[in-house]
Amino acid sequence: QVQVVESGGGLVQAGGSLRLSCAVSGFIYSINVMVWYRQAPGKQRESVAVITSSGGTTNYTDSVKGRFTISRDNAKNTMYLQMSSLKPEDTAVYYCNARGSYYNRRSQYDAWGRGTQVTVSS
């Protein structure tokens, strides 16, 4: 069983910053892709940022480009989302998704965390 735990959410004023963390644990060989998603009340869940295993390829949704930075520490099996210049429209539950291979390399996993709430006040 792969465990995914997000942390770092909270209440912040517009223009402020937060850093979200996503810790992945379990008998895994690799985390090939990590994705931050978010879902605001009444809205569809959307991908926010994506990072590949090496960290050399990243992608962001247009609304966060220039403000959010995704990174990962492979030694710690941890992904981060540095969020700056936060806006009220960034308010959502942020979810971490990790995809990769189990230690036996015979199967893959697609694991989700339970989310962390980010609230940006005006």
pLDDT in tens, 1-17: 899 999 999 999 999 99
pLDDT in tens, 47-67: 999 999 877 789 999 999 999
Within 10 angstroms of residue 30's Cβ, the number of other Cβ atoms is 15
pLDDT in tens, 19-29: 999 999 999 99
Q: How far apart are CA 61 and CA 109, in angstroms?
A: 24
pLDDT in tens, 70-93: 999 988 999 999 999 999 999 999
pLDDT over threshold 80, residue 117: yes
Which helix (H) or strand (E) segment holds residue 111: the answer is: strand 108-112
Residue pair 85/105 in contact by the 8 Å Cβ criterion: no
pLDDT at residue 105 in the model: 82
Q: How far apart are CA 13 and CA 43, in angstroms?
A: 22
